[in-house]
Amino acid sequence: MTGVAPAVGRPASVTRHDGTPLRVLMIDNYDSFTFNLVQYLGELGAETTVWRNDAFALDDVAAFAPDGIVVSPGPCTPNEAGLSVALIERYSGRHPILGVCLGHQAIGQAFGGRVVPARTIMHGKTSLVRHDGTGPFEGLPDEVVATRYHSLVVVDPSAELVENAWTDDPSGRVIMGLRHAQHPTWGVQFHPESILTETGHAMLAAFLRRCARAAA
């Protein structure tokens, strides 16, 4: 990693406008990082319910009526991630969605991008990520340090998706964030819930603020 990003303090809790907790649905792709995300969201005031990626029906999501949905990291490909891709296809535009690592790749695939082996495999390494200040990067410095654990990447995203974060690996530029051009749907290739991602709480708080606006 080159360069040093300025530190960002932990943000305040985010609630609905009436002061009640936001209800977040976490789709667990059988990954230990899932519960780090649950912990971070809880520290920001959200109530998070965890469903395994193959232990629900798509109609259950509408009945649950979450304020936001997070699709977790995982050890597999989007094709092996249960209902993750199908959920994104159905509920993008109906609920704010954040995909993390595998969840980001599922968003890329759901909207016509390709998920391919990375030229540089990253496991527990940090990178300096640049971004456009949208979605989870709202209010952050132009460059942030992010922790990466992945061997797959999204390439050739469709016109429905906008690349809003990137990094430069020795093998070339790599997409680190995507946003839907019209829906409140975002993906990050890195792990905001890692302790080495210093702005992780701020990123998740930005997502929760978008959930609060949608719930108003």
User: Between the CA of residue 192 and those of 114, 116, 163, what are the distances in Å?
Assistant: 23, 22, 17
Structural contact between residues 190 and 127, judged by C-beta atoms closer than 8 angstroms: yes
CA distance 7 to 20: 29
Residue type present at position 19: G
CA distance 189 to 192: 9
Active site residue 193: yes
From 95, 131, 150, 193, the catalytic residue: 193
Beta bridge partners of 168: 173
**DSSP letters spanning 102-142:** HHHHHHHHHTT-EEEEEEEEEEEEEEEEEE-S-GGGTT--S
From 95, 101, 131, 201, the catalytic residue: 101
Active site residue 43: no
CA distance 104 to 97: 10
Active site residue 104: no
Identify the DSSP state of 202.
Answer: H
Strands 185-188 and 161-169: unpaired
From 95, 131, 191, 201, the catalytic residue: 191
User: Among all residues, which ones are annotated catalytic?
Assistant: 101, 191, 193
